[in-house]
Chain A
């Protein structure tokens, strides 16, 4: 595809349920990033992948959050036992090396 895609675009879930958010980076991009943006707030770094490995997981807010990347391409961010404070827009970005990051449109997660 031409850009980074994310699915679903919107997700409404009940507190306590698990959710999976998917990111398809630009083909050939080696680095992939997950960020979280709460309403009116800045971008909060969650995790970074170089290839399939995650050298930096320091941003994951709790052990309910996990992410994986397979085949150096698609990544999935999983949130277990969702809480209301998890409600936010989750943004994925990819880049080739240490260059410009291209952002996807985001997944808006609402936890009721």
Chain B
């Protein structure tokens, strides 16, 4: 079942912060975050494994609340290069191996 992302779209001024949420109705093994710029392939940002960990690099970080089956992506002091569509991918373990189901995406636009 497809995870639900919110918001669907957000416009920021450069330097502002944003939070993108991802919720699932199923118990998750991990959450993946990807960013896709227009006309390009998705690019990996980070993976969070169950255990409630938080990860980050540069000014982009994420958390994973296993009990709530939610993950949030935090973008601080946004830059123009952050513009794109952000997808969360939720992973559940099946008898046949892992499978990522992606959300519908959050369009982020950073303006001057």
Contact = CB atoms under 8 A, between A and B. Distances in A.
Nearest to A100: B44
B104 A41 contact: yes
Interface residues of B, number: 25
A79 interface: no
Label chain B's interface by main secondary structure.
Answer: strand
Interface residues on A, range: 20 to 34
19 contacts: A35-B102, A41-B104, A42-B2, A42-B87, A42-B105, A45-B99, A48-B97, A48-B98, A48-B99, A55-B96, A55-B97, A56-B97, A98-B30, A100-B47, A101-B34, A101-B44, A101-B100, A103-B41, A103-B43
Interface of B: 2, 30, 32, 34, 40-44, 47, 87, 89, 91, 94-105
Interface of A: 31, 33, 35, 41-45, 48, 50, 55-56, 58, 91, 98-106
